[in-house]
Chain A
Amino acid sequence: MGYIRGRTAAGVALAVTLAAALTAVVVLRSPQQANAAVGSRLIEVHQGGDGDLWYHNVAGGTSPPTWGGSVRYVAGGGFRPAVAANGSVVVEAHQRGTGVGELAAMVGLRKSDSDLDTVA
């Protein structure tokens, strides 16, 4: 997990504390490029209790779509998740608190079309 960071003009990494919060939504460019590797897959994320974050794999090619089981990927300290996917790569962003504060981003890799995805 990494904080969203900015850089000064001198190129020094500077952690950015976001003064407020709410929805952070991420969308990847070129979403179709790696789709062949993972088929008709989607990923859902949501907030559970006590700041836990969970995801579901969704096989969108079936009718109706087939939902995999829920998997916890953040144990505490995660709120208002957003997600994007580009083929085998999944990027998630969430608040680290319930209000004003830091945003965190995670990058995950889908394993295969027949296996459950893993957010690394």
Chain B
Amino acid sequence: MNASGTIVVCYDKASNQVYYRVGIVAGGHVDWGAEQTLENAAGVTPSVALNDSGLVFVVFTGVMGTSEFTGRLSGNTIARTGSTGGMNSRKGTVGSVAVRQNTVVEVLANVSGELWYRVGAFSNGDVNFASEGLYDFGANPSIAVEPNTRKVIEVHEDGDGQLWTHPGMLNFTNNDISWGTQTQYDWGAKPAIAG
């Protein structure tokens, strides 16, 4: 990995606010920048994705449900470029997001145990979502876009101690996902996946 490997970590504290740090991976460690608050991001359980152009998308649980943040990374600071909130506030409570180039993939779990996905694209400082749908049932979903293909791999809890994965194929033309068959792969909790 070269010197451009940059990391953003988002987290919450006791207060209802999303915080972040920007880090650089070098020599087997991460040189973290100072802690900062994510602008107008009142919530918990954030998930963040960052593309090569420095565009940042964060999904987190706000007071009214899932909220979103779109911004741009410059140095160690993320400046907000888009609006928070959005249509998925009625769909999800805990979410995860992944990006590949300009494409944004988001998965959400709601209080009814439904798992929803959305696919969109960065556009003029915001993300325009083109598709959404119910794809499974469970909790704590996480999703990754496989680096060399159009495949997406999602993982989640089933609420009974089992971990399941749900593969899919991303269509960049219409920004939608064709989902395959889910399979159980392990037991545990709080799965996360990255490509």
The residues of A with any CB-CB pair to B shorter than 8 Å are 2, 4-7, 16, 18-35, 39-48, 54, 56, 58, 60-61, 63-65, 67, 70, 79-91, 93, 100, 103, 105, 107, 109, 120
Contact = CB atoms under 8 A, between A and B. Distances in A.
Question: Which of the listed residues A23, A43, A67 has the most CB atoms from chain B within 10 Å of its own CB?
Answer: A23
Contacts, number: 204
Given A20-B15, A86-B1, A105-B9, A28 B25 contact: yes
Nearest to A100: B14
Interface string B93-109: 00010111000000000
B30 interface: yes
B38 interface: no
A78 B160 CA distance: 20
A28 B149 contact: no
Question: Which of the listed residues B30, B96, B99 has the most CB atoms from chain A within 10 Å of its own CB?
Answer: B30
A7 B49 CA distance: 25
A28 B12 CA distance: 19
Nearest to B14: A20
A109 B27 CA distance: 11
A41 B194 CA distance: 9
A25 B146 contact: no
Contact of B6 (A28, A43, A79, A100): A28
Interface string B29-68: 1101111000000001111111110100000000000000
A102 B81 CA distance: 30
Contacts of B191: 44-46
**10 closest residue pairs by CB, A with B:** A20-B13, A60-B146, A29-B6, A20-B14, A46-B191, A46-B188, A89-B1, A24-B11, A42-B195, A19-B13
Interface residues of B, number: 64
A44 B192 contact: yes
B32 A42 contact: no
Contact of A46 (B9, B21, B192): B192
Question: Which of the listed residues B5, B186, B191 has the most CB atoms from chain A within 10 Å of its own CB?
Answer: B5
Contacts of B13: 18-21, 100
A40 B114 CA distance: 29
A65 B167 contact: yes
Contacts of A54: 186, 188
Interface string B145-167: 01111010101000000010101
B35 A42 contact: no
A61 to B, nearest CB: 7
B75 interface: no
B144 interface: yes
